[in-house]
Structure 1
Amino acid sequence: MSVASVRVVSMFLLAAVSFFLAASARSQEIRVTLLGTGNPPPVMDRFGPSILVEAGNKKFLFDTGRGAIQRMTQIKVGWETINGVFFTHLHSDHVVGFPDAWLTGWLVSRRNRPLEVWGPPGTENMVSHLRQAFEFDIRFRMSDDKAPAEGALVSAHEIGAGVAYEQDGVRVTAIKVDHAPVEPAYGYRIDYAGRSVVLSGDTRISDNLIRAAEGVDLLVHEVASPESFQRAGIPAERMKTIVGHHVTPEQAGEVFEKAKPRLALYSHIVLPTATADDLVPGTRKNYRGPLEVGEDLMVIEVGHEVVVRRPSHTAQ
């Protein structure tokens, strides 16, 4: 074999090894995609709260706010590949996209298995009434479109605080948080291959959440900006009530400083018109660590490093 041939073979082997090492590294990551970072106001750049978490061979949605299925389409994740949905609580902005993800995911992608759902008490009641509401459509699709009957089913699991799911190395733990008067409301911790992600859900400062998030790779936390309410002309009393169910940037900074995640990130931004200038300075009063303000379609790869990939553009 000539020297040139040896060089070609060596380069090929090196490329193959690099490819497989990279693939192996990716298989040990948790990949988090912010599908929607907003709240009830219907704006185009921040859809309703929804987060896609991919770990190992599992894909889960955490909440299904307005536009979740459209965002999944943008990132080319097949609706039928979702292994299940976890609800933090049952406020409308967190669940209004569920019928779309459930029924469109069944009809268009021909999902042929029940959709698994986990959530607080009340989840089974909500799901059963949704099935009643769409009974006519479901019967029609099965008879006329020959959509698989199993795919129209929803298997709902009402959970308490603690481990809610554990399979194939992926563990999802529900964390009781403080979103009173909503009771209970959950955050979630996802563990896989030594990596960890905590999603706060809607909450005030929560000691349970802080304990669960200590030293995690990624802490995704909600936030409410008083400045955004003032700009919108919302009366002070109404603002006080709404902000009182969430955390301000200053309070979030306290949480981050105690938990010390490798990366702290804001999502479920209240109001969705709030900017980084509204959120970051207040946070920095109490926390100097790594911080990102989330946006729709942002991807966070949690592996040996925590890598943030901002979308090149967000469809309007």
Structure 2
Amino acid sequence: MQMGLAAGAASVFPQSLLAQDKAAAASDSGARLVLLGTKGGPRVGGSRSNPANALVVDDAVYVIDTGMGVSAQFVKAGLDFRKLRAIFISHMHSDHELELGNFVYNSWVTNSFTKPVDVYGPVGIEDMVRDYWALNRIDIETRIADEGRVDPRPLLHGHDMAFEKRQVMQDDKVTVSALPTPHKPLQNFAYRFDTPYGSVVYSGDTSFYPPLADFAKGADILVHEVLYEPGVDALTKRARGGEAFRAHIMNAHSTTGQVGQIAAMAGVKTLVLSHFVPGDMDWITDDMWREGAARHFQGEIIAGHDLQEIPLS
């Protein structure tokens, strides 16, 4: 098992270090949103990776959700593990948190994880952090003793958050706020990031929820999950799901038209569609995703793609 881990790291992360050096040489001024994974749901495969995002503010990186594939996407985007400051998890569905531990581990094996990193999310995050280290105790303690690595366990700080509107954290780059939104049966947080360069709001997973528009009022960018209703039957059939599965999809997400309404009510500059449901059916075009939202929102609408970068004005 240890040889497999080492081989996997060797095949991916020398390239990551080159990407980090390239990133370090670039300008550290400004802010941009990087869409690391734009497909909703836990299914892997197809042209999109699972949900993950990065907000880069000057020389600091903040990751929002850690679906399967986030480590590889982070590397492909040329982002620098050494600049990671905090991680924010919207809710405890696997497509949003499955690679949390592995993402931090993959930073550690490049000798990039040497400073504290905070991870915020619903109740359960603290257990997840603790259990991940327990699951990988043998590998981690072997590498500490055999390779002289720092102990990563005291550096990752999990923070369970009560399900209420709140300010999450503030540092010299960003102020982060959270808003509970409906995604039954789980608790979901939308996050707002206010930076010197503008504001970004990330919806997480949510059904139509007008208070989200108030939360996003005046933001430069609203990143909102989106459901294409004509694709639900095809998704249900492929997933071998029954009526309960279909009902969850319909009741726990926002249609294209509803997303457009939220963006219009909020008065945001740019609406970014992401967490596409279904997210890997090629017959659904970008124009089809945008069409429903455009009936209500007259601003810029971006149908997001993996590794797309969107600057803050």
Listed as ranges, the matches of 1:194-213 within 5 Å are 195-213=198-216
Q: Aligned partners of 2:154, 2:250: CA distance in 1, in Å?
A: 38
Q: How far 1:154 sits from its partner (Å)?
A: 1.7
Q: How far 1:56 sits from its partner (Å)?
A: 3.3
Q: How far 1:155 sits from its partner (Å)?
A: 0.7
Instruction: Select which of 87, 90, 107 maps to 1:88.
Output: 90
Which residue does the alignment assign to 1:181?
Answer: 185
Listed as ranges, the matches of 1:98-177 within 5 Å are 98-150=100-152, 153-160=155-162, 161-177=165-181
Q: Is residue 279 from structure 1 mapped to residue 276 from structure 2 by the alignment?
A: no
Which residue does the alignment assign to 1:30?
Answer: 31
Which residue does the alignment assign to 1:214?
Answer: 217
Q: Aligned partners of 1:96, 1:258: CA distance in 2, in Å?
A: 33
Q: Is residue 259 from structure 1 mapped to residue 266 from structure 2 by the alignment?
A: yes
Q: Is residue 246 from structure 1 mapped to residue 246 from structure 2 by the alignment?
A: no
Query: Residues 57, 227 of structure 1: CA spacing in aligned structure 2 closer, same or farther, 3 A cutoff?
Result: same
So what's the TM-score if we normalise by structure 1?
Answer: 0.82
Instruction: Select which of 185, 192, 196 maps to 2:195.
Output: 192
Which residue does the alignment assign to 2:21?
Answer: none
Query: Residues 116, 103 of structure 1: CA spacing in aligned structure 2 closer, same or farther, 3 A cutoff?
Result: same
Mapped contact 1:114–1:151 kept (Cα < 8 A): no
Mapped contact 1:79–1:101 kept (Cα < 8 A): no
Q: Deviations over 1:224-272 (max 9, x none)?
A: 1122233446267333321210001111111112112100010111111
Mapped contact 1:32–1:54 kept (Cα < 8 A): yes
Listed as ranges, the matches of 1:49-88 within 5 Å are 49-88=51-90
Query: Residues 126, 213 of structure 1: CA spacing in aligned structure 2 closer, same or farther, 3 A cutoff?
Result: same
Provide the secondary structure at the position in 2 that maps to 1:219: strand
Instruction: Select which of 263, 270, 286 maps to 2:277.
Output: 270
Query: Residues 132, 236 of structure 1: CA spacing in aligned structure 2 closer, same or farther, 3 A cutoff?
Result: closer
Mapped contact 2:226–2:255 kept (Cα < 8 A): yes
Q: Aligned partners of 1:276, 1:178: CA distance in 2, in Å?
A: 26
Aligned pair count reads: 277
Q: Is residue 295 from structure 1 mapped to residue 302 from structure 2 by the alignment?
A: no
Query: Residues 82, 151 of structure 1: CA spacing in aligned structure 2 closer, same or farther, 3 A cutoff?
Result: farther
Q: Deviations over 1:261-315 (max 9, x none)?
A: 1000101111112432432222223223211100100101002xxxxxxxxxxxx
Provide the secondary structure at the position in 2 that maps to 1:99: helix
Provide the secondary structure at the position in 2 that maps to 1:188: strand
Give the number of the structure whose alpha-carbon radius of gyration is greater: 1
- Higher mean alpha-carbon deviation, 139-148 vs 109-118, is at 109-118
Q: Deviations over 1:141-185 (max 9, x none)?
A: 1111221114664211122431111111410111111112112x1
Q: Aligned partners of 2:99, 2:39: CA distance in 1, in Å?
A: 13
Query: Residues 222, 112 of structure 1: CA spacing in aligned structure 2 closer, same or farther, 3 A cutoff?
Result: same
Provide the secondary structure at the position in 1 that maps to 2:44: coil
Query: Residues 213, 233 of structure 1: CA spacing in aligned structure 2 closer, same or farther, 3 A cutoff?
Result: closer
Q: How far 1:58 sits from its partner (Å)?
A: 2.0
Provide the secondary structure at the position in 2 that maps to 1:118: strand
Which residue does the alignment assign to 1:17?
Answer: none
Q: Aligned partners of 1:231, 1:177: CA distance in 2, in Å?
A: 27
Partner AA of 1:50 in structure 2 = A
Partner AA of 1:230 in structure 2 = D
Q: How far 1:46 sits from its partner (Å)?
A: 1.1
Q: Once superposed, what is the RMSD of the aligned Cα atoms?
A: 1.9
Mapped contact 2:104–2:113 kept (Cα < 8 A): no
Partner AA of 1:210 in structure 2 = A
Q: How far 1:78 sits from its partner (Å)?
A: 2.0
Provide the secondary structure at the position in 2 that maps to 1:228: helix
Partner AA of 1:213 in structure 2 = A
Partner AA of 1:293 in structure 2 = A
